[in-house]
Amino acid sequence: AQTVTQSQPEMSVQEAETVTLSCTYDTSESDYYLFWYKQPPSRQMILVIRQEAYKQQNATENRFSVNFQKAAKSFSLKISDSQLGDAAMYFCAYRTPRGSQGNLIFGKGTKLSVKP
């Protein structure tokens, strides 16, 4: 069964600095998707960034980028120039095209605090 592990329950970063959130996953599939979702105190899950496993190039969305290491099954999120609005829970998620009609499997999350 696929699993997603986020080993950092909490992280803290100074405003304007860079922080990296870790995520590892376990799967026997070769084709899948990986995501980072942000859940602010308002509680709505917001997609931050996505990565298709067949793409070697790391995805980037403005200040957010990932380090995707397929062989190591690692998918970390880097937030550059951190802002106060980045404070939230961050969830790493995995999705396979097969099984449970593409259900997302989530990690337990990392709570990110941003210090002014």
Q: Enumerate binding residues for another protein (CB under 8 A).
A: 33, 35, 37, 42-47, 50, 91, 95, 97, 100-104, 106-109
**Which is nearer to another protein, 67 or 104 (by Cβ)?**
104
- Least separation in angstroms between CB 97 and another protein: 6
**Which is nearer to another protein, 40 or 81 (by Cβ)?**
40
- Least separation in angstroms between CB 11 and another protein: 16
**Which is nearer to another protein, 43 or 56 (by Cβ)?**
43
Cα dist. 101→49, 51, 78, 95 in Å? 21, 19, 29, 9
- Least separation in angstroms between CB 78 and another protein: 19
Asked if residue 94 lies in contact with residue 36, where contact means CB atoms within 8 angstroms, the answer is no
Cα dist. 55→4, 11, 15, 110 in Å? 20, 28, 31, 25
- Least separation in angstroms between CB 108 and another protein: 4
